[in-house]
Amino acid sequence: MRLSHCHNCHDFRTLARRRLPGPIFNYIDGAADDEVTLRRNSESFERCDLVPNVLRGVESVDMSVTVMGQTLAMPVYCSPTALQRLFHHQGEHAVAAAASRFGTMFGVSSLGTVSLEAVRKAHAGPQVYQFYFHRDRGLNRAMMQRAKEAGVEVMMLTVDSITGGNRERDLRTGFSIPFKLTPAGMLQFAIKPMWAVNYFTHERFRLPQLEEHVDMGRGAMSIGRYFTEMLDPAMDWDDVAEMVRHWSGQFCLKGVMSVEDARRAVAIGCTGIVLSNHGGRQLDGSRAAFDQLAEIVDAVGDRIDVMIDGGIQRGTHVLKALSLGAKAVGVGRYYLYPLAAAGQAGVERALGQMRAEIERGMKLMGCTSVAQLSRENLRFR
């Protein structure tokens, strides 16, 4: 299978699986415990149907949205994800370039493999910086200061990961940073030599967002230990309120799932929330973000930008989320499989397909702008 044969997320996943060593593919593809939430994320979009209107004069459609103070040419952004250089040697540069080309936001993860500054320098477009809350408050402030200096537009604090999820696929393969592979895991690398050639002939693997502060790269600290030793499970709303004040710009919480927490996010001055269960990778059994969307939009949608991610793989999923009141949606694996399959060309092809699907879907729904999508166009089964 080649890139030109990839017409949807499923095709990209198949190609990524062929190209990546098993432990890396499973790190992307997998989720926590029994992966119930991972499955629910996709299923949630099938529990409601679109009700189109016809004969509305839809020659051209405008799918732009304004969210977190940024105008996006399409209502889909690339959610922050870790370790992208492991998936393809172009890493974050590929995703940032593709996002910029499609006029949308890209979230650089604090576990990213290209620095915030390098992404800012090389690519136009609004930049999101996703970070975690550390026990060391000085470190939190230093990371925010660095983001300010780098010109980051949106700070995104991930609040659903105060401890690492139980990713059993990774336990089985031995996937960790630094690598500590099981014999079966090592064999999986041996049978994908092209991946190894690309990986070792390009820039060295680094975690530049953290290396300045933590001795990660030389094997002193694994990502598992980073989560358990450095992140602060005692973090509470007062801590976040202080960060929001300190940042004094667009600040959003990623991983909010309850109405109560959404109200608290408003109360402490956040400008956005992302309803998310981290792609099913944290609390297995947690509800799909799409299923929580209506009640959270009803409670706070007029005071804060509500976004969602999890399981979005089609333009029609995006239309359903926007119809319920989301301002924009994030995708993770949707761009990671194409990244692994073909780098920047893969991510651009996937975003192009998403844009075409949204445009076609809006026309078939009888809408010329996102504002015309409403709950009138949705029925739950």
Does 111 bind ligand FNR (CB under 6 A)? Our answer is yes
d(CA 105, CA 98): 10
Please identify which residue in 332, 338, 346, 361 interacts with ligand FNR, judged by CB under 6 A.
332
Angle made by CA atoms 278, 283, 287, in degrees to the nearest 5: 75
Q: Which is nearer to ligand FNR, 81 or 316 (CB)?
A: 81
Residue 278 a catalytic site member: yes
- Residues 300-319 as x/- pattern, contact with ligand FNR by CB under 6 A: ---------xxxx-------
Cβ proximity of 135 and 113 under 8 Å = no
Closest approach, Cβ 10 to ligand FNR, in A, equals: 13
* SS3 (DSSP) at 27: helix
d(CA 39, CA 115): 33
Q: Which of 89, 93, 134, 278 is catalytic?
A: 278
Closest approach, Cβ 338 to ligand FNR, in A, equals: 12
Q: Which is nearer to ligand FNR, 130 or 323 (CB)?
A: 130
d(CA 196, CA 21): 9
- Residues 244-273 as x/- pattern, contact with ligand FNR by CB under 6 A: ----------x-------------------
Does 3 bind ligand FNR (CB under 6 A)? Our answer is no
Radius of gyration for the alpha carbons in the chain, expressed in angstroms and rounded: 20
Q: Which is nearer to ligand FNR, 35 or 348 (CB)?
A: 35
Q: Which is nearer to ligand FNR, 27 or 367 (CB)?
A: 27
Q: Shortest CA distance to 91 belongs to which of 252, 253, 209?
A: 209
Closest approach, Cβ 21 to ligand FNR, in A, equals: 14
- Residues 13-32 as x/- pattern, contact with ligand FNR by CB under 6 A: --------------xx----
Q: Which is nearer to ligand FNR, 131 or 372 (CB)?
A: 131
Stretches 75-83, 184-192, 197-205, 341-349: which one binds ligand FNR (CB under 6 A)? 75-83
Residues 70/75/80/83 CA torsion (nearest 10 deg): -130
Q: Which is nearer to ligand FNR, 61 or 91 (CB)?
A: 91
d(CA 152, CA 46): 36
Q: Shortest CA distance to 97 belongs to which of 381, 268, 348?
A: 348
Structure tokens at 317: 């999923």
Closest approach, Cβ 282 to ligand FNR, in A, equals: 9
Please identify which residue in 113, 115, 276, 292 interacts with ligand FNR, judged by CB under 6 A.
276
d(CA 222, CA 213): 14
Does 343 bind ligand FNR (CB under 6 A)? Our answer is no
What residues from 42 to 71 belong to the interface with ligand FNR (CB under 6 A)?
none
Residue 255 has phi, psi (to 5 degrees) of 110, 15
Q: Shortest CA distance to 28 belongs to which of 130, 173, 152, 183?
A: 173
Residue 256 has phi, psi (to 5 degrees) of -80, 135
Q: Shortest CA distance to 248 belongs to which of 341, 114, 155, 176?
A: 155
**Pairing verdict, β 154-158 and 250-256:** parallel
Closest approach, Cβ 82 to ligand FNR, in A, equals: 4
Interface with ligand FNR (CB under 6 A): 27-28, 41, 79-82, 109, 111, 130, 158, 254, 276, 278-279, 281, 309-312, 331-334, 336
Q: Indicate which residues carry an active-site annotation.
A: 278
